[in-house]
Structure 1
Amino acid sequence: MTTIPSVLITGASTGIGAAYAERFARRGHDLVLVARDTARMEALAARLHQENGVAIDIIQADLTQPAELATVETRLRDDARIGILVNNAGTAIGGSFIEQSTDDVARLVALNTTALLRLASAIAPRLAAAGEGAIINIGSVVGLAPEFGMTVYGATKAFVLFLSQGLSLELAPKGVYVQAV
């Protein structure tokens, strides 16, 4: 990319997502922040714009909702300025497997795996065609340690790790960097 690529970050209103936004903004990247909490994203965007002078777009989206997920997918497919995806949105639920409601577990899987997969799938072909770019997927050590007792959460994070490793093998020769954190 001849210009500094924009970065789309999911789960960008707090925590790891906000930290990635701060670091990329300091390096001069324009940002697209995606999260459910518009007020937090607006506050973060205002601060980062003031401190770093970067342009920041906000997309309010619940990535477990198909229509809202589709909006973000479309942005990743169509906005050639976006050269980096940080797949950070995720959730965990407490309790043992038999204590968790099936609906809660299904929402966790939708966010931690399905949304992550769909967003990577939306941007990967464009990045591969350009011969450059990056996909950063946020995993967890829990994906490697079932003894921590977070069965479904850990399974989703194991998926993130395996997917990231496979995508790296497939996309690295095409100039696309894939990382699991």
Structure 2
Amino acid sequence: MNQNQTTNKGTALITGASSGIGAIYADRLAARGYDLILVARNAERLRGVADRVQQAHGRAVTIVQADLGQRDDLAGVEQILKTDPSITLLVNNAGFGAVTPLLESDVERMARMIDINVTAPTRLAYAAAPAFVARGGGTIVNIASIVGIGVEILNGVYGASKAYVLALTQSLHHELAAKGVRAQAVLPGATATDFWDTAGLAHTNLPSGMVMRAEDMVDAALAGLDAGEVVTIPPLQDDKDWLDYEAGRKALAQRFAHGTPAPRYLDRTAA
């Protein structure tokens, strides 16, 4: 018998699973012994991913056609997370980006980006976390982006949405780690997926040396999860850079507890 059929790590629910990073997570997690619930808008592509995973790994796969920008569809996925006791892992992968500057961006598209990139992962995390605590453990993986730190790199709303995902993940870790719930933020750089076509700039237009294969990105993300990382940045070559950044951020956060403005502002007021 295939070893994957005798290993059961529970069920992983993956959003945005019909292509790209989400589809690769489906393959890799099935190989690790997870059954799958795959969520995306395109049912035909979801069925294709499900068929490939089942043939390759022999795991049970359920597909859920849902547009996470629609409240009723989102509520349906929330309900699955709240009520399916087999779920041990949530991968919040669904999202889209943009490369246009603020003055050239359509505000309705930006509002939809917030719905998908911010509201959906928030609500799904809120659905999963209490259920995981009640079940004694679970893992929430949130796909963020390096633009969550380098917010000037692409569209500002996209950068802000991924900064939110990073902060949410760190807060989840802070509040829930002691309760047996793990949280990981994955910050890809430029990755070879159709994300770039949707954003308005094909990745083939980027320098080839900065574009990572999607398979390599997901494998690195899973290696980071195995290593216990809360924040995994696959393209960052020296992890000391991140550790120094985090140490500086945490040190700065301890310097805000003052009831009076800093002298530099008082001096200006007096003048």
**TM-score computed with the length of structure 2 as normaliser:** 0.65
- CA shift at 1:27, angstroms? 1.1
- Partner residue, 1:126: 131
- Partner residue, 1:49: 54
The residue identity in structure 1 corresponding to 2:152 is E
In 1, the alpha carbon distance for the partners of 2:42 and 2:104 equals 28
- CA shift at 1:149, angstroms? 3.5
- CA shift at 1:3, angstroms? 4.9
- Where 2:152 maps in the other structure, the secondary structure is helix
Judged with a 3 Å threshold, the aligned counterparts in structure 2 of structure 1 residues 19 and 99 are, in CA distance, closer, same or farther, namely same
Listed one character per residue, the Cα deviations across residues 47-101 of structure 1 (whole Å, up to 9, x for unaligned) are 1101111000000011000000011000000101111000000011231111111
In 2, the alpha carbon distance for the partners of 1:120 and 1:12 equals 17
- Where 1:147 maps in the other structure, the secondary structure is coil
In 1, the alpha carbon distance for the partners of 2:152 and 2:25 equals 29
Judged with a 3 Å threshold, the aligned counterparts in structure 2 of structure 1 residues 3 and 43 are, in CA distance, closer, same or farther, namely closer
- Where 1:148 maps in the other structure, the secondary structure is coil
Listed one character per residue, the Cα deviations across residues 154-179 of structure 1 (whole Å, up to 9, x for unaligned) are 00000000000000011100001000
**TM-score computed with the length of structure 1 as normaliser:** 0.97
The residue identity in structure 2 corresponding to 1:174 is K
- Partner residue, 2:30: 25
- Partner residue, 2:149: 144
Listed one character per residue, the Cα deviations across residues 126-145 of structure 1 (whole Å, up to 9, x for unaligned) are 10122211000000001101
In 2, the alpha carbon distance for the partners of 1:65 and 1:77 equals 19
Of 111, 115, 118, which aligns to 1:110?
Answer: 115
The residue identity in structure 1 corresponding to 2:136 is G
Verify the 8 A CA contact 2:99 2:154 in the aligned structure 1: no
The residue identity in structure 2 corresponding to 1:19 is I
RMSD between aligned alpha carbons? Answer: 1.2
In 2, the alpha carbon distance for the partners of 1:69 and 1:54 equals 25
Structure 1 stretches of at least 4 aligned residues deviating more than 2 Å after TM superposition = none
In 2, the alpha carbon distance for the partners of 1:147 and 1:44 equals 34
Structure 1: gaps spanning 5 or more residues: none
- Where 2:144 maps in the other structure, the secondary structure is coil
The residue identity in structure 2 corresponding to 1:168 is H
In 2, the alpha carbon distance for the partners of 1:46 and 1:168 equals 34
In 2, the alpha carbon distance for the partners of 1:147 and 1:63 equals 27
